[in-house]
Amino acid sequence: MGRNDPYIDLGTDARTAPTSRMWEAMQAVALNATPFKGQEAVEALLARACELTGQAAALLLPSCTMANLIAMMAHADRGDQVILEESSHIAWSEGWGMASIAGIYPKLLKGRRGAIDLEEILSAVEASVFSHRPRTKLLCLENTHNAGGGAVLPQAYAAEVCAAMKEREIYVHLDGARIFNAAVALDLPVRQMTEMYDSVTINLNKGLCALEGALLCGSAAMIRKASQLARALGGDSQHKAEIIAAAGLIGLNEMVDDIAKDHRRAYLFASAVQRIPGIGVELQRVQTNIVMVDVSGTGLAAKEVLQRLKIRGVASYLYSDAVLRFVFHREINDEDALRASRLLGEAIG
Ligand SMILES: *Cc1c(COP(=O)(O)O)cnc(C)c1O
């Protein structure tokens, strides 16, 4: 972890080390802690989260996986239907807690880079009304969409879907693990992209580089319910949360502008690897910090290319038999991006 690492880590943006400003703030909080003081740093973080998202209340949790689960449990009861995009992070990478813990019935619908046609959402809602299916309580969207290669949900689409759900009294939760990437890509205030949802989760540990943690933001009543759920699930007993919060606040206040550099480097890498014979990258789809690379044209399995890259010091993530995912973050500079593209050429050559 960190700049001394000889590897070029494009496997995930979740391993980013806190910045020196963050380490200092974390240490200052730890040194100033007394048994008689409240959790001031946590309160400052939550207040800032509310201000940024336009939501009334917020909660700090250990991970975005837990935050998404708690959001679903706060909005939907056991046996309720929740509509999810079929390749959403909640559906493929969160251990099916929605079923095994929350008892929710997931209705998975296919989307285009995260965007499910409103018509399809509405017919799933109608079907649940008319054919003895569980009633639909909640729809979850994801922005940016991880499996969609960091795709940004079109703003007009998100607004239209939220309005249609509100009319039908169905909650909408946003998995906004990388919502700041989306806001930077569209050059919009994050609030404009989050205030229309009933709840929003945000990762502090990815592009924002904080030590760990995620935020769940929503209405005051929803967050009250969420805190009780967090207590039961073990997410409310972060006894040293102030230290995490101190880094998180710097993430929210000082790291957002740097995200534009991650996007530029992802594009730099994508433009370079696009020229390698047998490699498939759709440049117009590289909107944020994620690049999906289809290696099937090389005649090699993605797993084999992953191994060959690993030997050369480049970490990537196996997305499917044919596709590797490369994620850009603060610890990758221009030179790393170009070197990684050269090493990919060498790996398949
Ligand atoms: C990383 C990620 C999560 C989970 O975050 P953790 O803090 O690792 O639990 C949730 N949703 C999306 C879209 C992600 O990319």
pLDDT of residue 10: 98
* CATH topology classification for 20-254: Aspartate Aminotransferase; domain 2 (3.40.640)
Quick check: 70 and 216 in contact, CB under 8 A? yes
pLDDT digits (tens, 9 = 90+) for 250-261: 999 999 999 999
Could you tell me the end-to-end alpha-carbon distance of the chain, in angstroms, rounded to an integer?
29
Query: Which protein residues are within 6 Å of ligand 1, measured from CB?
Result: 14, 63-65, 89, 142, 146, 175, 177, 203, 205, 214
Find the mean pLDDT for residues 115-129.
94
Give yes or no for residue 11 having a pLDDT over 60. Answer: yes
Handedness of CA 67, 157, 190, 167 (dihedral sign): negative
CATH number of 8-17+258-347: 3.90.1150.10
- Does pLDDT of 281 surpass 90? yes
Centre of ligand 1 from the C-alpha of residue 65, in Å: 6
List pLDDT tens digits, range 39-54: 899 999 999 999 999 9
Q: Which residue has the higher pLDDT, 70 or 128?
A: 70
In the reported structure, the alpha carbon of residue 298 is separated from the centroid of ligand 1 by a whole-number distance in angstroms of 31
Query: Ligand 1 centroid vs 64 CA: distance in angstroms?
Result: 5
Answer with the residue of higher pLDDT: 158 or 35.
158
pLDDT at residue 3 in the model: 52
Predicted confidence at residue 133, as pLDDT, reads 82
Give the atom of ligand 1 at the shortest distance from the alpha carbon of 66.
9
CA of 89 to the centre of ligand 1 (A): 7
Nearest atom, ligand 1, residue 142 CA: 13
**Mean pLDDT value of segment 126-135:** 84
Residue 33 amino acid letter:
A
Q: How confident is the model at residue 5 (pLDDT cuts 50, 70, 90)?
A: low
> How distant, in Å, are the alpha carbons of 124, 146, 203, 269 from that of 13?
34, 12, 11, 16
Q: Which residue bears the tokens 């433009």?
A: 271
- Mean of the pLDDT values across residues 205-229? 97
Give the model's pLDDT for residue 38: 76
Residue-range domain boundaries for the chain: 8-17+258-347, 20-254
**Does residue 204 register a pLDDT over 70?**
yes
The mean predicted confidence, pLDDT, of the chain is: 95
Residue 298 has pLDDT above 70, yes or no: yes
Q: Is the pLDDT of residue 186 over 70?
A: yes
pLDDT value for 1: 46
